[in-house]
Structure formats: structure tokens, C-alpha cells
Chains A and B, each alone.
Chain A
Amino acid sequence: MRVVAVVNQKGGVAKTTTAANLGACIAERGFRTLLVDLDPQANLTVGMGIPWYELDSALHTVLLDPDETPLRSIITQVHDIPLYLAPGHLDLAHTEALMMPHADKAYRLRNAIEDLTRSESFDWVFIDCPPSLGTLTQNAIVAASHLLIPTEPKFYAFAGMDSLNKMIVALTKSLRFRVELLGVLLTMFERGTRLHTMIAAEIRERFGDKVFQTVIYKNVRVSESEVEGKPIALFDRRAPGAQNYEALAEEVLLRAAG
């Protein structure tokens, strides 16, 4: 099982869209896939057609009291493919504060996933992280075997990845974990924009083959699919956005096999 944290503290870089669509494309290929919505905005949950505000238990209750609410109890299947969701909730926003006194606060998600795998098997787990480097993101990094970093081709992307790099180095001083980079994914790419091309080239120079060959272009159909509560791959297979994520899924599976 590979546990992939989709992480970048910058908001609006397509973390949620990537987790949802990559997860759906991999599940469509028959791999049992779990999406974990760790972002208090719960957009992944809503994007899968589930209203978080109607849930009385979600990821926040798992993190706060895993004995009372094991991860397995909140997971639901979505969209008639082997795709499952551990829904998020706005209350995750204050879960960070409530977890603060607990010594194991950064290990809660990892423990929950390990407990889950005693009764359920998943091939892939994708964790949608919040746009911050707080306790929730730390939980994702400690639980993950791999990181996937979606990033816009903007100068601030470098500052963001530098901050993430610093945080990971700092975490190694206090926590025990092992994680490697699955890849950096260029998102929100605009065709014909020279600045995007220039920055993408610089990112490739710095990160080498860790940057996915697949690029996710801006595509309005992806936003429309979110309104419909479906990943683009299930909403409009012919849309460029769907084809981008299909290509990414192939590349991710190839990397995992290699």
C-alpha cells in the first residue's frame, strides 16, 4: 500500500482536484483507493457529492478519539468504482488545537491508517492536505510513504517548496517517519504563457526527474465536474482535464512499479 500526501501549504494549487481525480483514475483501473480529506474546507468531500455539514462523524472525530471512532467507521464508497472516502469536516479546524496537548498528536492519522489496514486492504491512499504546515499536515507527512507536490508555475512555488523542505527537516528532529517524493506536479498551466514555461523549466532543472512529465492545464470542465460532485474522469472523459489526469495516473503507476 502506498500512502501519498498531496501537500503544498499554498492554497489554490489544485491539491484537492489532484487527490480526487488521480484517485478516481487509479481506482478506475481496478486499484482499491482511499481518499482522506484532511482539509477543514472539506472540498474533497463535497466534490465527491457528500455534504460534510450533515455528518456527525468524520475525520475530526477519528483524530480526536480513534477508539470511539475508528477510521473504518467513517469510510464510504463513492461513484461505483473501488474508490472510498474518509470525509473531512469544518471541525477539523479546531481539531488541531484540541490535539495539541497529546504527545502522539502527529501520529494520529498514521495510527488510524495502520489500524484500518488490519481489516481492510487498499492499494493506494491519497491524503488531501490543508493549505498550511500545521499539525494536520504534519499528520499527513508522518502517515505518508510518499509526497506529491502540486504547484503552480509561479515564483512563489519555490518559496513554498523551500518552506516544506524546512518543515520536513525540522520534523525529523522530533518525529520518527520515512517519506520520499513521488513527484512535483505542475498545475494550472496556461498554454502559450512564456513565464509559465520559464518557471516550469527552472523547476525541472532543480527537481530533475522528480517532476512529472504530465502537466495539468487549466480547464474549466474540471471546475464544472466539482459542482456535479464527480471527478472529471467520471464526468467528462473526453475533457482535456480528464486526459491530463489519466496520463498522470499512468505515470504514477509506472513510477510505483519502477
Chain B
Amino acid sequence: MRQDRAASLRERLRKGVSNFEFDALIEGVSNVDEDAAEKAPAPPAATPAKPDLRPASQVRTADSEGLRAALNTLGDRLLQEAGKLAAAFRALDVDESGYHLARINQVLELLHAVDPSGELARKHGTVAAPPTGVRWPKPVWCLYDFAESPLSGLVPVEADDLFCAAVVATAAVAPES
């Protein structure tokens, strides 16, 4: 990295960071009534370490019903959020689009964690399961991902690249709810 480029980058970094606040993190927060906490009865003393927690080999097991239900829930949620994303795109609403794109990303990350190929979803007849030979779309964390994603097909013709970039950037920092 050349010296002038490094200095310029450092300058832009500092300027960008100056827009952010971290006070609550650095100082900590407390809205617990200290007096009330002190007056509250102390919980019973904890007993010494007990050896009777179960070893891993005795953990209860179940069939794949839970997985099927979870995939169905995620498939439903994916469809719902895609519908809301399409509506927000049509309204050219960056914040709303970013919010729903973030929700979709979270669902897709979960789906990729348990069923990256989409095979289980197809086997269980999950709503929105990808067709045979097709994987779940990747989550979108940058403009490049977005261009590659089938979600970009929802963007109306009047939206430009700047709109898409703003949506992706909003999604990257959007809280889940």
C-alpha cells in the first residue's frame, strides 16, 4: 500500500468512524435498582459441582420430524419475506428493502447450515424448496452476491445500481426485528 494511499484511507476511515457511537458499550449500562437488588432475598446457595449431568452418549434423540417442521417454517418465512422484499423494491424503499433482505439472509444462512444442497427440503416437500439440482440461493452480503442472486430478479426496471447498493448496505446492518 503506498504511503499517500494509506494516509488517505486512514483519513476516510476516521471520518467514517466518527459517525458512530459506542458509549453504551464502553461504559456499560444498568437500570437495575441497586437498593432493591440488595434488599431482595438472596437465592439459595448453589451446591458444589454435581457429577450427575448427562454425558453426551445419553442425550435423548428424536426422528427427523423436527427437522421437517423447521425446514417448513424456514421455507414459509422465506416466501413471506421475498414477497415483502418485492413490494419494498416496487416502492423503491431502501430501508424497508434492506430490512427484508436482512431477514431473507438470516433464513438462507440457516438453510445453508442444515441443508445446503436443498436435498432435504425436496425430500420433505418443503415449501419453496429449490428444484432438483439447484441449491438454496446464497445470502446476499455485497453487491456482487446480489447480482448473482435470483433475488435481483425482483428489482424493478426503474431502480439503478445505487439503489441496489444502498439496499445491500442497509441489509448488512439491519437488526432482525
Contact = CB atoms under 8 A, between A and B. Distances in A.
Contacts of B31: 172, 176-178
Interface string B25-38: 11011111000000
A124 B176 CA distance: 28
B10 A41 contact: no
Contacts of A177: 29-32
Interface stretch (A90-98, A217-225, A230-238, A248-256): A90-98
Contacts of A82: 49
B29 A178 contact: yes
Q: How extensive is the interface on chain B, given as a class?
A: 35 or more
A131 B109 contact: yes
B29 A169 contact: yes
Contacts of A161: 20, 22, 25
B6 A77 contact: no
Given A10-B172, A117-B43, A132-B176, 14 more contacts: A41-B109, A77-B53, A94-B73, A118-B46, A120-B53, A121-B46, A121-B47, A134-B175, A147-B25, A158-B17, A159-B173, A161-B20, A162-B21, A178-B30
Interface stretch (B58-66, B122-130, B150-158): B58-66
Interface residues of A, number: 75
A54 interface: yes
Interface of A: 9-11, 32, 40-43, 48-50, 53-57, 72, 75-78, 82, 84, 87, 89-91, 93-94, 96, 114, 117-121, 130-135, 137, 147, 149, 155-156, 158-169, 172, 176-181, 194-195, 198-199, 202, 206-208, 210
Contacts of A162: 19-22, 173
B4 interface: no
25 contacts: A32-B49, A41-B113, A49-B56, A50-B59, A56-B66, A75-B53, A77-B56, A90-B67, A93-B70, A93-B73, A96-B176, A120-B53, A121-B49, A132-B106, A134-B175, A147-B25, A158-B16, A158-B17, A158-B20, A160-B173, A161-B25, A165-B25, A167-B175, A180-B28, A181-B28
B86 interface: no
Nearest to A54: B61
Contacts of B43: 114, 117-118
A100 B177 CA distance: 11
B60 A55 contact: yes
Nearest to A48: B56
The 6 closest A-B pairs by CB, nearest first: A180-B28, A134-B176, A56-B62, A121-B46, A132-B176, A178-B30
Interface of B: 1, 6, 9-10, 13-14, 16-17, 19-26, 28-32, 43-44, 46-50, 53-56, 58-62, 64, 66-67, 69-70, 73-74, 77, 106-107, 109-110, 113-114, 172-173, 175-177
Contacts of A178: 28-32
A172 to B, nearest CB: 5
Contacts of A43: 113
B56 A76 contact: yes
A258 B110 CA distance: 39
Contacts of A195: 1, 9
Nearest to A89: B66
A159 B175 contact: no
